[in-house]
Amino acid sequence: MGRGIAVSLARVGISVIALESDKKLLEVSKQMIINMLERDAKRRGVSAPLDLLKFTLSLQDLKDVDLVIEAVFEDMALKRQIFQDLSNVCGPTTLLSTNTSGLDVDALAGMTDRPHLVAGMHFFSPAHVMKLLEVVCGPRSSSETIATVMSLGKRMGKVSVVVGNCPGFVGNRMLKPYLEEAAFLLEEGATPEQIDKALEDFGFAMGVFRMSDLAGLDVGWRVRKESGLTGVDVDQNNPPRQRQGRRYCPIPDMVCEQGRYGQKTGCGWYKYDKPGDTKAKPDLSIHNLLETYRRRYGITSRKVTNEEIVERCVFTLANEGFRILEDRIAARPEDIDVIYLFGYGFPSYRGGPMFYASTVGLERVLEKLEHYYNANPDVPHLEPSPLLKKLVVCGSPPLNKWREQINLHSHL
């Protein structure tokens, strides 16, 4: 469905056909969309554009549309099937886009008869509030397709950034090690509340656990299952807390196994008065889970400082940002900063993770990453990236000169 996306389109005057697979869910979503549009219209002193919306259970109703934004579960097999069906149902000039959080956009394009008309349109939760749109340019996306999607983003009032196609694109590729680092801190003795408070004091609109509860914990769980990190495909010979030769923290999987998916189920890292509520309250059962977990693995809980929380989480973000620049998935460091400012509530006065790293001093960021990597040699995301090292060697030039240290030509 993509309720927030439907709202973002209708309120700028674009007609929407919203598709669901289940009748009951269709009714629930319809009511939520109407409520959101009415609140928005009241705030702006206009009438709600309800006449622009049509709700359906039939894919056939999409046969004459100009553009599709697919937003089904993060399940590659399901998305492949949907793209094949859309290619059969929609007219030959219909653009097909996906709101996937990180799956291969080119593989989805390959399921259609028009790979040049396929691109990623990655919105951020809550989609009717967050300004960012990541426009994912696959190797076969045409320039016209990307220009059309960018112009649609502009009409929707979004800040759009073109990114390359790789697992997680820019935003979520950086989010993955950030989430992992936060989970390691839980293992070592911190609580979700302490980590969130440290990140919110740093200036994030939401700490990592409140943000995860907002987005839904099941999305990342599906991704980890598909990557063989958890679930039935896991190699039983893995040493404890290790997967694929690296440190791995299974606590987020254990939380999902209890049906705790975040706000939508009324509990996740926090508890909520009812499903859909947004006020996060500390949950004793999560504290108990953490204590039982530490006992089970013989981990002596230690006092984690707020300084360590911020350094390990934020420098990890920047370190992956440097790798993204080297891989040409983002065209420039400023694009990465825009993504974090408008998509993830990064404190605007700090300028984004890359600008922040430059203000802290690249030498200091390198030194800190080396320190944490030495202490955790089985955590590859803490290993300082080659680009960071190179920039330090050449005297830490300002952000707008970083590109000169990257040799490859980019298609972005």
Ligand X SMILES: NC(=O)C1=CN([C@@H]2O[C@H](COP(=O)(O)OP(=O)(O)OC[C@H]3O[C@@H](n4cnc5c(N)ncnc54)[C@H](O)[C@@H]3O)[C@@H](O)[C@H]2O)C=CC1
44 scored as a contact of ligand LJ3UWUTL (CB under 6 A): no
- The distance of closest approach from Cβ of residue 306 to ligand LJ3UWUTL in the complex, given in angstroms and rounded to an integer, is 20
- Is residue 192 close enough to count as binding ligand LJ3UWUTL by CB under 6 A? no
Q: Read off the tokens for 285.
A: 């059962």
How many angstroms separate the CA atoms of 99 and 218, rounded? 16
Q: How far is residue 41's CA from residue 98's CA, in Å, rounded to a whole number?
A: 27
For residue 190, the Cα-to-chain-centroid distance in whole angstroms is: 23
Instruction: Decide: is 126 part of the binding site for ligand LJ3UWUTL (CB under 6 A).
Output: yes
Whole-Å CA distances, 84 to 31, 89, 119, 141: 30, 9, 15, 17
The partner in contact with residue 21, picked from ligand LJ3UWUTL, ligand X, none with C-beta cut-offs of 5 to 8 angstroms by kind, is: ligand X
Q: Does residue 263 bind ligand LJ3UWUTL (CB under 6 A)?
A: yes
Residues at the contact surface with ligand X, assessed by CB under 6 A: 1, 19-22, 25, 71-74, 82, 99-101, 122-125, 215-216, 219
Distance of CA 119 to the CA centre of its chain: 17
Q: Is 319 in the site for ligand LJ3UWUTL (CB under 6 A)?
A: no
Q: Measure the CA angle with vertex 178, ends 391 and 255; round to 5°.
A: 165
Number of residues that bind ligand LJ3UWUTL (CB under 6 A): 28
Stretch that binds ligand LJ3UWUTL, among 46-54, 167-175, 371-379, 381-389 (CB under 6 A): 167-175
Using CB under 6 A as the binding rule, whether residue 167 contacts ligand LJ3UWUTL is answered as yes
**Least distance from C-beta 393 to ligand LJ3UWUTL, angstroms?**
28
Structure tokens at 362: 């690249």
83 near ligand LJ3UWUTL, rule: CB under 6 A: no
Q: Residue 264 to residues 267, 272, 404: CA-CA distances in angstroms?
A: 8, 9, 45
Of the candidate residues 5, 137, 211, 304, the single one contacting ligand LJ3UWUTL (CB under 6 A): 211
345 versus 384: smaller Cβ distance to ligand X? 345
Q: What count of other Cβ atoms lies within 10 Å of the Cβ of residue 300?
A: 7
From residue 299, how far is each of 137, 228, 253, 318, 346 by CA, in Å? 44, 25, 19, 29, 32
- Choose, from 122, 128, 371, 409, the residue flagged as catalytic: 122
Determine the distance from the C-alpha atom of residue 412 to the mean position of all C-alpha atoms in its chain, rounded to a whole number: 20
d(CA 388, CA 322): 6
End-to-end CA, the chain: 30
- Tell me if 344 contacts ligand LJ3UWUTL by CB under 6 A: yes
User: What is the closest distance, in whole angstroms, from the C-beta atom of residue 273 to ligand LJ3UWUTL in the complex?
Assistant: 13
Return left, alpha or beta for 13; rule: phi > 0 is left, psi -120 to 50 is alpha, else beta. left
Answer yes or no: 122 catalytic. yes
Q: Which residues, in sequence order, are bridge partners of residue 134?
A: 122, 161
Q: How far is the CB of 158 from ligand LJ3UWUTL (least distance, A)?
A: 13
176 binds ligand LJ3UWUTL (CB under 6 A): yes
Question: Residue 134 binds what, of ligand X, ligand LJ3UWUTL, none (CB under 5 to 8 Å, by partner type)?
Answer: none
Q: List, in sequence order, every beta strand (DSSP E) within 94-176.
A: 95-98, 118-122, 132-137, 159-164
* C-beta of 20 vs 187, nearer to ligand X: 20
In the complex, which residues of this chain contact ligand LJ3UWUTL (CB under 6 A)? 36, 39, 101-102, 124-126, 129-130, 167-168, 172-173, 175-176, 205-206, 211, 214-215, 219-220, 223, 263, 278, 343-345
Catalytic site positions:
122
